[in-house]
Chains A and B, each alone.
Chain A
Amino acid sequence: MRVFYSVFMKEIITFLRSWGLVAVVLYSFTLDVYIAGSGLVITPRNVTVGYVDEGNSITAQKILAKLHPPEFQKPKRFLSQKALLDAIFDKKIMVGIIFPKDFEKKLANHDHPQIPIYLDSTAASQAYITLVYLQNILLDFSMSQKLFDLKIHKLFNQNSDSKMFISFVEMLSVITMLGIILTAIVFVKEKEDGTWDILLLTPAKSSHIIFAKAFSQVTIMLGGIIIALGFVVLEVFQAPLNGSFWAFMLLSILYLLTLAGIGLFIAAASQTIMQVAQLSMLIAMPLIFLSGAWTPIYSMPTFLQKLSLISPLRYYIEGSESIFFRGTGWEDLWGYFVGVTILGIITFWYGYKKIGKLF
């Protein structure tokens, strides 16, 4: 136990003394999360609209007046259909609306006027949302009153504030990348600096050294998570914490152990820090992108859905989303705990065996 403690403390102190590493970790957990949260806005904004009004109708102006910021830019008038299409082909305009000459007349005669709309659907989801928005506006003109009165409620995040969500997911990605790299580095640094042989000479048991080194990095990561949560995610972006904080911490510890296992495996396979960087990228990127962070799992192709079952990040992300936003209670979270624990035990055991062979 004394060996464990001294190796553990040695790693923590080494970490704190290498200011470059401290700076990188602090940057990733604070500024990086902040930049991602404040920079990425994916909802349709400032959609450019162009129109041709052949009949100079009043209704057309009324309809256009409903397209306002922040969703739409002020509609631009084009003199001919061709000019409008050219602008769309040059990607200057995203939505083109054409009001035909007899539009006003037909509307007055209840004659079902038609409005051709051209959508640049190279940005598919924005085009779709824009279309629905337009349909809604036109429907107001079509009927004196709508048949259905839709009461739409977005649970957990009524205003669709994407900042807190993106900063949260970015934090989870940072945890994944750093959790793997830090653990791998504490071993490979010894290899690179030539102090590995000293490790082999010490009377301490190899298992103590491995566990102490791995746990020291888990502790550092936990510190990072608390900093990221306290300063950025909960403080700046005001993410809600609807569930239990301790459930999240426990899930994080289990997940960090899984990452440490992957880190051990990488440490066994690589000789230089450069190799660590390459290998961790190769492993972490699939983990992040196939975890359901950006695409819902059920929208993926079937074989990827099956593959995502063995991604620990899948359970971690879904679990922590549920804890933070959905406020799910312990009784419904056990699935995530079981998933992370089983994968954690397997990867840690595998990594431990791999690195143990080097002692």
Chain B
Amino acid sequence: MRIGAIKAYLLKEFKELIRSRLIILIYLVPTMILLLFGYGIRLEVKHTRLVVVDEDRSTLSMKLLQNFTHSKYFQILYTTTSYQDALHKIKQAKADVILIIPADFEKNLFHTHKASLAIFIDGAFPLRAMTMQGYVEGALINAMEDFAQKYNIAMHHIAIVQRNLFNQAMRDENAIVPGLIGLVLLVAPALLAALLIVKEKEYGTIFNFYSSPLTKSEFLIAKLLPVFLLHSLNIFILFLWSTYLFVVPFRGSFWLYWLSSEIYILISLSIGLLVSIITNRQIVAVVLTLIITIIPGFLYSGILMPISSMQGESYIEAHLFPIMYYNQIAYDTFLIGQGLASQKNLLYLGILILYSIILLTLGSLLMKKGMR
């Protein structure tokens, strides 16, 4: 291994990255993905637009509505008496939920302890509809308990003392952003590593390497080291966006986050290396890398669905991809803060190291100097 040769090749790579302005993409794309997904994917719905059809107009119905006005989840657009009018608003996509309080609401509640309420939810987006249904039910259950206590209606009340661990305020940012780091650091280094090698293949300049005395390992170091170093900086950039812009708490050890991220980048660039071995065209390399990384990265990241609630084949598949192991550690360092005291984190860190070693060796073994 000759340091001089590697140094010269490294210099060439860096100069090329800067001159071809690819360097902008290296830092723009991860940040862009984090910001877009962080702002663009919200599972919670704030300020649900509520139209109330209040046919009762009693003190009690007014009290009931207060439960909605004081919640960050709702905004009451207006109160009307016409159901047709409210439905029209939903059809125009200007409202999401209609709450109908029938005319005898107060009377029924006092006389028979049973009143009915009708709720219509815009179900065009099913997940959003379910979330909104949860909010409406939650608000109404609270109202019910208030009434029962106030008017001494007999019930043996079971109180839930609820503690939201790790994410006390149930902020969506906390739930999504750490998972996104795992996605970004899986996609971006793989893409860059694949491109750096396939570009030479497509332009034909790879023959410079084939015919030069440079050895395979020297070539790999020269190609992969820039990717590794440049994306190492992204670990910090993404961390700063998460903690300052999205205000995600960071409770764990920064060293663990850093170390596991570096190992994770190694895994990612090995994936890029493997892709570069089987493709000759840049555009194919891009598409292939995206298919391999983004889809499992998204499905098994735990952003949309916790791994523990997966079943059958998807549970097994989740364990095959590296993102699950990294995200366990990422979520731990951001929200939980157990660090290596937890056996599971230690195990997963080990798996990540093993994963990176296997992929790197596989990549360098399969890589051939010379035409296939």
Contacts and interface: CB of A to CB of B under 8 A. Distances in A.
Given A132-B141, A152-B136, A322-B91, A73 B309 contact: yes
A157 B159 contact: no
Among A123, A129, A143, A304, the one with the most B-chain Cβ atoms within 10 Å of its Cβ is: A123
Given A139-B144, A290-B39, A327-B91, A147 B119 contact: no
A321 interface: yes
A197 to B, nearest CB: 22
Given A124-B167, A132-B141, A277-B283, A42 B305 contact: yes
Interface stretch (A158-166, A204-212, A245-253, A256-264): A158-166
Interface in B34-49: 36-37, 39-47, 49
A318 B90 CA distance: 12
Contacts of B28: 282
A142 B122 CA distance: 31
Interface string B81-93: 0000000101111
Interface string B1-33: 000000000000000000000000100110011
Given A119-B163, A132-B134, A138-B160, A304 B39 contact: yes
Contacts, number: 297
Given A147-B115, A165-B124, A119 B155 contact: no
A89 interface: yes
B144 A148 contact: yes
Contacts of B32: 282, 285-286
Nearest to B343: A90
Contact of A127 (B36, B155, B170): B170
A156 interface: yes
Contact of B115 (A43, A116, A149, A321): A149
B306 interface: yes
B116 interface: yes
Interface string B79-111: 000000000101111001000000000000100
A128 B328 contact: no
B159 A114 contact: yes
A285 B331 contact: no
Contact of A136 (B37, B120, B141, B305): B141
Nearest to A162: B126
A300 B91 contact: no
Interface string A113-128: 1111111111111111
Nearest to A150: B117
Contacts of B308: 48, 91-94
A40 B140 CA distance: 30
A155 B121 contact: yes
Interface in A28-73: 39-48, 73
A272 to B, nearest CB: 8
Given A40-B304, A277-B286, A114 B141 contact: no
A138 B157 CA distance: 9
Interface stretch (A11-19, A217-225, A291-299, A341-349): A291-299
Interface stretch (B171-179, B220-228, B264-272): B171-179
B175 A298 contact: no
Contacts of B109: 147
B309 A147 contact: no
Nearest to A336: B93
A147 B165 contact: no
Given A48-B309, A115-B161, A289-B40, A154 B133 contact: yes
A15 to B, nearest CB: 16
A129 B130 contact: yes
Contact of B304 (A42, A135, A155, A328): A42
Q: Is the interface of A mostly helix, strand, loop or mixed?
A: mixed
A354 B287 CA distance: 28
B321 interface: no
Nearest to B199: A274
Contacts of A202: none
A43 B127 contact: yes
A110 interface: yes
Contacts of A138: 158, 160
Interface string A312-337: 00000010011001111100100000
Interface of A: 39-48, 73, 88-94, 107, 110-129, 131-136, 138-139, 141-158, 160-162, 165, 273-274, 277-278, 282, 285-286, 288-290, 293-296, 298-301, 304, 318, 321-322, 325-329, 332
29 contacts: A107-B158, A112-B159, A113-B156, A114-B159, A119-B165, A122-B167, A122-B302, A124-B44, A126-B43, A127-B167, A128-B135, A129-B131, A131-B162, A132-B134, A134-B160, A138-B160, A143-B155, A144-B155, A151-B117, A153-B121, A154-B120, A154-B123, A154-B129, A162-B127, A277-B283, A285-B36, A296-B128, A301-B39, A325-B124
Given A107-B156, A289-B39, A290-B36, 11 more contacts: A93-B308, A123-B306, A132-B141, A139-B141, A147-B113, A150-B116, A155-B122, A294-B40, A295-B40, A299-B47, A321-B124
